[in-house]
Chain A
Amino acid sequence: MFRKVLIANRGEIAVRVIRALREMNIPSVTVYSDADRASLAVRMADEAVYIGESPSAESYLRIDRILDAARATHAQAIHPGYGFLSENAAFAQACEDSGLTFIGPSAESIRKVGSKTAARQLAKAAGAPIVPGVEEAVAPGAEAHRVAREIGYPVLLKAAAGGGGKGMRRVDREEDLDSALRDASSEAERSFKSGEVYIEKLVPRPRHIEIQVLGDRYGHLIHLGERECSLQRRHQKVIEESPSPVMLEYPELREAMGEAALRVARAAGYYNAGTCEFLVDEDRRFYFLEMNTRLQVEHPVTELATGLDLVKLQLEIAAGKRLAIGQKDVKLSGSAIECRIYAEDPDHGFLPSPGRILQLREPSGPGIRLDSGVYPGWNVPMDYDPLLAKLAVWAESRPAAIARMRRAISEYAISGIQTNLEFFRGILADAEFANGRLHTAFLDDYFARAARDTGPESDLFDIAVIAAALHATAAKPLQQVPSASGSAWRRSGLRELMR
């Protein structure tokens, strides 16, 4: 096993990998930018190396600096997390060339399926069904117009090197194609250093379901079942679960999709952890979308449903161990749900809400798992993704898991910045969510039908008014002393009022 591992990432996923390493007794090295000097990952890691300024192009995307950091600390392997360089074949290659183990698939596998267009070609050849569209990146202008017209509107533009909805645009009308292409391409360029965009047919009201695959370096490949990721906003997943509600009804779909995913993985000569994403239409026909050649953000629901630790398995596979489990050993039990807690403002179109976290109360108790990258006093930087934490629960059934998640959310409080916590309370109480008929436009429909409950006449409202007035009045002497919120000054102010 490795004597030391470097994590080329930040935020909650860096913390997640540090935890696995610590359980395996392997020292961890994290890297950090200016904005992340005080991050939870830096606080928790055994070693931390500065790699540059806050913009990711100057730090977390700098292959040279990350390799220097690994050499300087004598790390033997690099875990790339997700995002940043995790699906960058050049990075995997550079690790291999420097004698470092890249904890993931080979650079060659990444090249084979890393671009969505290449993955589509490969899937087609391997016999996995794909969404109608083009396999090549399209050039803007007349060529794009011709292709889109042939496929038929509405179409979806996607970044060839992308993921997570970055560089993705839905286009309903031809007159919107040029500006959408421009936006998608520039967003793709910034996020993935490749502005290539391709076009495919939009499947109406599909489920987004993905299959986790896992393989060792000796050709033994298995799948770990599915994750339902249909609840998305702007193509960013918000809630994920395993098993999928549709598989509870039609378990044979899991076998069919699992087999398709393995076919793609085999064709790519894949090892380590990877994920095949599919769309599933209302008649339960499924289409391969792309393969993510890394650990997924939402891996905790698979871990909870299967009882396996994916990060530890990734490390063992990378170290050359054989995968000890076979397909028959994989059983999904109970129900796991994950909510992605984002720094964003649901009242203002979910705009990002970076800033300092002033107060934090985290949920705990039976069946709760919290993968968080923040703490009270942490200044959430504006330079990166707004993901703060992932709250996951496990329970014996889907209704019990939903009830548990509602309880967990009721214990969770973050102040100082806006978050989407309140949004989850609504969605978890929604009857349509409970019946499990999910699709990727589910949230659009939900927002349309769920009038925001402001509850102005409730006692809760009045009690909150009292607390606010008291707090503001007691804080009076403080207004000349910024940044001292909650100090002894304020407390004495409150005592004075209450006397």
Chain B
Amino acid sequence: MKRVVRFGERQVSLEWKAGGGRIAAVIDSRGYEVSVLEVEPGVYSILAGTRAYEVRVAGGERKWMVQSGGKSWQAEVIDPRAASARRGGLGREGRQVLAAPMPGKVVRVLVEEGAMVEEGQGLVVVEAMKMQNEMKAPKAGKVVALAARAGSSVAAGDELVTLE
């Protein structure tokens, strides 16, 4: 089976064969033969030779949080056959969407639709867990859409302000 795994900053290609509780895998050009056991839901005990690892995988639809040895990564696993279909359609030239960095509540909206803003100017203040985070304009431009409303709750990734 072939997969492309985007792991933190890096992208690696992985090919593996499974059988009899063992997995033979090639990552880039490095080969592994490992024994894998899912000891708890999402918790894998992996033996590579005598070397023991425990890996935790949790979360998402396509995105996973992977933890092992005290390190953690955000992983996205892509079936290479489906990958080309998903490319393209990203950010239009010159348009910047400011999204909520965390789930929380919009406490203040500092601009109005149609306003011209400077780079670094505060646009929206989002609060979660008693911490306020002022979202600043990544570049100078015009506020073409303003989805943020003071007092409303937002999820991580929700659009707040669109600049052009």
A residues with CB within 8 A of B: 166, 183, 187, 190-191, 343-345, 348, 351-355, 358-359, 382-386, 409-410, 413, 415-416, 418, 421-422, 425, 454-456, 459-473, 479, 482, 485-487, 490-491, 494, 497-499
Query: Quick one: given A359-B58, A468-B66, A470-B23, are A463 and B34 in contact (CB under 8 Å)?
Result: yes
CB-nearest residue of chain A to B23: A466
The answer, among A384, A416, A466, A498, for a CB contact under 8 Å with B130, is: A384
Does B145 count as interface, using CB distance less than 8 angstroms? Answer: no
Q: How far apart are the CA atoms of A61 and B130 in the complex, in Å?
A: 14
Q: How far apart are the CA atoms of A455 and B69 in the complex, in Å?
A: 11
Q: Can you give 26 A-B contacts (C-beta < 8 A)? A: A190-B130, A352-B104, A352-B129, A359-B42, A359-B56, A382-B105, A382-B128, A415-B65, A415-B67, A460-B68, A460-B71, A461-B73, A464-B73, A465-B7, A465-B27, A466-B16, A467-B57, A469-B77, A470-B44, A472-B57, A472-B62, A472-B75, A472-B77, A473-B3, A479-B61, A485-B59
Q: What 8 A-B pairs come out closest when comparing CB atoms?
A: A486-B41, A472-B77, A467-B55, A352-B129, A415-B58, A471-B57, A358-B58, A468-B75
> Beta-carbon contacts of B90-115 to A below 8 Å, as 1s and 0s?
00000000000111110000000000
Query: Quick one: given A354-B128, A415-B58, A469-B5, are A409 and B70 in contact (CB under 8 Å)?
Result: yes
Q: Cβ of A422: which chain B residues have Cβ within 8 Å of it? A: 70-72
- Is B131 a contact of A352 with CB atoms below 8 Å? yes
Q: Cβ of B128: which chain A residues have Cβ within 8 Å of it? A: 351-352, 354, 382
- The smallest C-beta distance from A496 to any residue of chain B, in angstroms, reads 9
Q: How far apart are the CA atoms of A462 and B46 in the complex, in Å?
A: 11
- Is A464 a contact of B55 with CB atoms below 8 Å? yes
Q: Cβ of B77: which chain A residues have Cβ within 8 Å of it? A: 468-469, 472-473
Q: How far apart are the CA atoms of A164 and B34 in the complex, in Å?
A: 48
Q: How far apart are the CA atoms of A456 and B27 in the complex, in Å?
A: 12
Q: Cβ of B68: which chain A residues have Cβ within 8 Å of it? A: 460, 463-464, 467
Does B133 count as interface, using CB distance less than 8 angstroms? Answer: yes
- Is B58 a contact of A459 with CB atoms below 8 Å? no
Does B132 count as interface, using CB distance less than 8 angstroms? Answer: yes
B residues with CB within 8 A of A: 1, 3, 5, 7-10, 12, 14, 16, 18-21, 23, 25, 27, 30, 32, 34, 36, 38, 40-44, 46, 48, 51, 53, 55-59, 61-62, 64-73, 75, 77, 101-105, 128-133
**Interface of B, helix, strand, loop or mixed by DSSP:** strand
- Is B40 a contact of A359 with CB atoms below 8 Å? yes
Query: Quick one: given A352-B104, A384-B130, are A461 and B14 in contact (CB under 8 Å)?
Result: no
Q: Cβ of A353: which chain B residues have Cβ within 8 Å of it? A: 102
Q: How far apart are the CA atoms of A498 and B103 in the complex, in Å?
A: 38
Which among A382, A421, A454, A467 has the highest number of chain B CB atoms within 10 Å?
A467
Which among A183, A359, A385, A459 has the highest number of chain B CB atoms within 10 Å?
A359
